[in-house]
Amino acid sequence: MFYSVKTLNDIGEREAIRIIKSILSKGLESIGIGDDCAAFDIDGRYLLVSTDMITASTHIPNSMNPWEIGWFITAINFSDIAAKGGRILGMVLSLGLPVDTSEDFLVSIIKGADSCARRYKTSIVGGDTKENKELTLSGTVFGLVPKEQFMSRKGAKVGDIIAVTGSLGKAAAGFLAMQKGCSRDFTRDLFQPTPRVSEGIRLGELKVIHASMDISDGLSSSLYQLGEVNNVGFEIWLDSIPISNRLIEVCDSQECIDNSVLHFGGDYELLLILPEDKFLEVKHELDLLGTNITKIGRVRRDLEILLKDRNGVYTVLPDLGYEHFKHR
């Protein structure tokens, strides 16, 4: 008898996480696998913990310098805390380094990580270093948020609006520019993302956000993750999505622009679900921080995720965002 053995390439990262979650005991954490952070209930506050890892083969192109590598690993960890409304306590950074790594390369990585930490008024407080065949970095970040200010992924209600901070397509513009040999200025947002830490804190303080996550793997992927956990669907208005000017400049077609803002990812903006009557209040508060927020859709009872195109035609939005193990 022959048995079919599935591989991670068959099931993808998110199914792998579901399997892991089904096995692990929940311990004492109040919130565990399935949100941007684990959250431990400590005297009326949540201690937030999140970890993210990057490797040379999946995240670090040759044109990315070591200072940018340090910034990147730090920023993407901070973004998870931001999505929950937390204040960052600090981060530990572990490095797997090939034996031929130069001292200057190591110093630049640490300087980049330190620069990002200082930008957000926190620090790298420790970590680990090991010999490894491939350059690998792993950050674990810690934060705090009052329980009533915690912004979970779960809580969306039918009729709520969907909104995003900033603009989408900045990272895609950097990637496309890198492929086309354009000016290195285009890659800044790809290699040095800006986590919305101050914005997340203020949003949590307002106590009006029903659901929140950061957009790391693409808008479509993020919507499917939120839809699953909330047992709802969405309609997204393509014409309303705020598009990076850099993306418009580097793309040679409307199809390129649309696919990039819907599926590329790497922007680390906040994807928010909130009552429509609270939108102007939220917009005012974020305007004070110099950050735009845009309505891009609505929560539906039906579980489908629909895209309204520029002609007013609705189609099912495919889940084409990045997923580890599946995209090679």
Kindly list the domain boundaries of the chain, sorted by start residue: 24-148, 152-316
Tokens of 304: 């489908």
CA angle 125, 129, 133 (to 5 degrees): 145
The dotted CATH code for 24-148 is 3.30.1330.10
What is the pLDDT, as a whole number, of residue 35? 72
Is pTM beyond 0.75 here? yes
CA distances from 125 to 37, 70, 90, 107, 141 (A): 19, 14, 6, 16, 10
What is the pLDDT, as a whole number, of residue 328? 44
* Residue 51 phi, psi (nearest 5): -140, 145
What is the pLDDT, as a whole number, of residue 14? 62
- Cα dihedral angle (45, 198, 110, 92), rounded to 10 degrees? 10
Instruction: List CB contacts of 184: < 8 A, sequence separation 6 or more.
Output: 63
User: For the segment 262-306, what is each residue's pLDDT rounded down to a tens digit?
Assistant: 999 999 999 999 999 999 999 999 999 999 999 999 999 999 999
Tokens 């992924």 sit on residue: 153
User: For the segment 137-153, what is each residue's pLDDT rounded down to a tens digit?
Assistant: 999 999 999 999 999 99
Extract the residue ranges of the chain whose pLDDT is less than 70: 1-5, 8, 10-14, 16-17, 20-34, 321-328
Counted residue by residue, the chain has a size of 328
What is the pLDDT, as a whole number, of residue 159? 97
User: For the segment 61-80, what is each residue's pLDDT rounded down to a tens digit?
Assistant: 999 999 999 999 999 999 99
Q: What is the CA radius of gyration of the chain?
A: 20
Measure the CA–CA gap between 38 and 48, rounded to whole angstroms: 6
The H helix count followed by the E strand count for the chain is 11, 12
Mean residue pLDDT across the chain:
92
What is the pLDDT, as a whole number, of residue 22? 64
Instruction: List CB contacts of 291: < 8 A, sequence separation 6 or more.
Output: 165, 166, 196, 199
What is the pLDDT, as a whole number, of residue 58? 87
The dotted CATH code for 152-316 is 3.90.650.10
Helix (H) or strand (E) holding 57: helix 56-59
